[in-house]
A = this chain, B = another copy of it.
Amino acid sequence: MTVTAPAGFEAAGIAAGIKRTGALDLALIVNRGPRVHAAAVFTSNRAKANPILWSEQVIRDGVVSAIVLNSGGANCFTGPEGFQVTHRTAEAAASALGIAAGDVLVCSTGLIGDQLDGEVLEEGVLSAAARLTADGGADAARAIMTTDSKPKTVVVEGDGWRIGGIAKGAGMLAPGLATMLVVLTTDADLPSGALDAALREATRVSFDRLDSDGCMSTNDQVTLMASGASGVVPELDAFTAALVDACADLARQLQADAEGASHDIAIEVRGAVTEDDAVEVARSVARNNLFKAAIFGNDPNWGRVLAAIGTTTAPFDPYLVDVSMNGVRVCHAGRPDRPRDQVDLTPRATHVLIELHAGDASATVLTNDLTHDYVHENSAYAS
């Protein structure tokens, strides 16, 4: 059911012919109301794809009736022609649905620098609009896949309302700058300002802490649409908590499907002065190629952890730090502790605990290891 699990939403996923393989490549998700409130967050990359430039304008009034997503091409660095394709896509949806183009978000994912065919997109949108159903969420989830091996979906039950979601990609880990696209829907009745606050909090502690390979896409977009069809106005805290659950679930699915990865690594930092410090420390490890290659080799190389966190500005004394891997403390107060051969790194799930002993704040960043398959898939894609 995914994005069509909450009342008020219809969706379709079709093969529009953008991908040469004939696979599903275009999704349309429509909010039938009675409310058409929405919020969205976008990539912070200054190199923004055309659909991002378009969608940033659409979301300004907090009103969104539909979203079109295509795989098979990122429509980034494609100039004014590329922007026209995005515009034409939104106009097609507006025409088919009897709504304003300015209430249609557009997302694209695929290779940068390739021009999309506007006619193919337009015909695809019209075709998708004719196939909208209240159980089309599963097809929509498949249609946004690029190198994903499986669709990512989530449903969270609230008290009289629901949140549904679909996602694709894993940060910038997938080849060709494949993108993280997420669409969340809810039949809760909340205004766009509340949706925006909840979405920013949820993405801050979920997708923003998934750092598979440190690369930031030009096309990332996370969208939340609310129909109000449940007639229930939830407490914002309860809604935010459910949205956090939904986003965290999708983030774990993205991590688990990260291309070429053989380990899902949770880097937990405790004892930081602030939560931002904890994130900075965890992220420095998540982005360290030497550490990530060591985990691939099942090597509990804690020296690489300490060398990574030594590059941060977070306040702590490197010579007070403890490091544990999968429950075995291999470094205590900046010195060797239990023998590294006691650490079993053969499971895919890997837990690295870094205790800074500087304060009370903590955070966890999710990442993957650096593997032969990562290099292979990211060197062979476009050539």
- A interface residue numbers (CB < 8 A to B): 44-48, 74, 76-79, 111-113, 115, 172, 175-177, 213-218, 287-290, 293-294, 296-299, 301-304, 306-312, 318-319, 331, 333-336, 340, 370-372, 374-376, 378-383
Residues of B within 8 A of A303 (CB): 74, 76-77, 111-113, 176-177, 218
Residue from B112, B311, B372 in contact with A306 in the complex, judged by beta carbons closer than 8 Å: B112
Interface contact B218-A77, CB-CB below 8 Å: no
Contacts of A378 in B (CB 8 A): 289-290, 293-294, 297, 370
Q: Which residue of B lies closest to A312 (CB)?
A: B46
B293 in contact with A374 (CB, 8 Å): yes
13 A-B pairs within 8 Å (CB atoms) are namely A45-B307, A47-B334, A74-B303, A77-B336, A79-B333, A112-B304, A112-B307, A115-B336, A177-B304, A289-B289, A297-B383, A372-B372, A374-B375
Nearest 8 CB-CB pairings of A with B = A112-B303, A297-B379, A47-B310, A293-B378, A299-B383, A45-B310, A79-B335, A47-B318
**Contact (Cβ within 8 A) A288 B215:** yes
Q: Do B47 and A301 touch across chains, with their CB atoms under 8 A apart? A: no
Among B45, B310, B336, contact of A311 (Cβ-Cβ < 8 Å): B45
Cβ–Cβ < 8 Å partners of A308 in chain B: 215
Say yes or no: A215-B290 contact (C-beta < 8 A), given A113-B331, A310-B47, A331-B77: yes
Tell which of A78, A113, A312 has the most Cβ of chain B within 10 Å. Answer: A113
Residue of A44, A112, A380 with most partner-chain B CB within 10 A: A112
Asked whether A375 and B383 contact (CB < 8 A) given A304-B177, A306-B77, A307-B216, the answer is no
> Contact: A177 with B112, CB < 8 Å?
no
In the complex, are the beta carbons of A299 and B379 less than 8 A apart?
yes
Known: A79-B333, A372-B372. 7 other contacts (CB 8 A): A44-B311, A48-B318, A113-B336, A115-B336, A213-B289, A214-B287, A370-B379
